[in-house]
Amino acid sequence: MEFFLSPLSRHLLVFALIGGLTLFTQAEPLPAPNTLAAQLGKAPQNLTVLEPHLLAADLPAKRTYQGYPASQLLDHVLGKAWRAPGNEVAFLALDGYVSRIPSEDIVRHEPLLAIAIRGQTDFTVDNPLQRQMGVPLGPYYLVWDNLRHPRLRERGGHIWPYQVAQVRVDTQRKESLLHPGLSEADRRTAKQVQEACLSCHQIQGYGGQKMPTDLTQLAQGLSEAEFVEKTLDPAARMPNSTMPPLLPKAKAQQRQALARQMHHYLRELARLRERG
């Protein structure tokens, strides 16, 4: 994520680039963080976590965030309808990053919408995998108790959106990632593509707005070898890219296999859609 502009300037720039309110249609703005204590009648609480952006780079990762339970804030902004099983809550960041979280995950794991780091005046994070340092996290940063729930660490940072300004109960359906003709293997790969890629990129309009490239079109124009290289080492093909490498902590063989599976799935989805 870019961090040379203030959050407000960044917000306005995104709106200008996409032509108005398209990005945040039907989304609700979150209250200003400094008004929450009065609005909710509670002080912020602490949550100590292993920061995934630092953990992925083998840096000291334990830190304590201060904020409000996401479910409490979502109830305040959206009402309680978002809690219905099967819903996804979209957390929309200032630069177009969109993290879609199943409502069941939020209810089960009770993440925090953080507004500060305990004991620090700055509210930033270093993101070495994207070659960015001192990235502002505000107005809100969704953080998870991955100390009490260690399996959350396996999901990496894509469920930790920062610079969150708005939320909505998402009406886009991930069925756009599927087709009746897909094999079971491709259906499993679709879920991995959703988790790894679709906070920034898109398939048939489902995904993020940071780099809203349709991945089926991208895969059509790349050989398997080119796609694997672009996915595993984005900086090799795009020196200024902030795209993180796929599964950076996994074994090389596993990373290469998944990249090949993604390429096959994306091309197969495009082929099936062309056939109707």
Residue 21 pLDDT grade (very low, low, confident, very high; cuts 50, 70, 90)? very low
Q: What is the pLDDT of residues 144-153, one digit of tens each?
A: 999 999 999 8
Q: Is the pLDDT of residue 14 over 70?
A: no
Better pLDDT: 204 or 263: 263
Question: What would the mean pLDDT of 8-34 be, rounded to a whole number?
Answer: 54
List the structure tokens of 224.
């398997």
Distances (CA, A) of 71 to 24, 52, 74, 106: 20, 21, 5, 7
Kindly list the strands in the beta sheet with 98-102, ordered across the sheet, starting from the edge strand earlier in the chain: 28-29, 164-169, 88-93, 98-102
**% of the chain surpassing 90 pLDDT:** 62
Angle (CA) 245-251-252 rounded to 5° is 65
Residue pointed to by tokens 């200003």 = 32
CA–CA separation, 5 and 114 (whole Å): 20
Q: What is the pLDDT of residues 178-226, one digit of tens each?
A: 999 999 999 999 989 988 898 889 998 888 888 888 999 999 999 999 9
Angle (CA) 89-77-116 rounded to 5° is 85
Q: Is the pLDDT of residue 22 over 50?
A: no
Question: What would the mean pLDDT of 235-252 be, rounded to a whole number?
Answer: 81
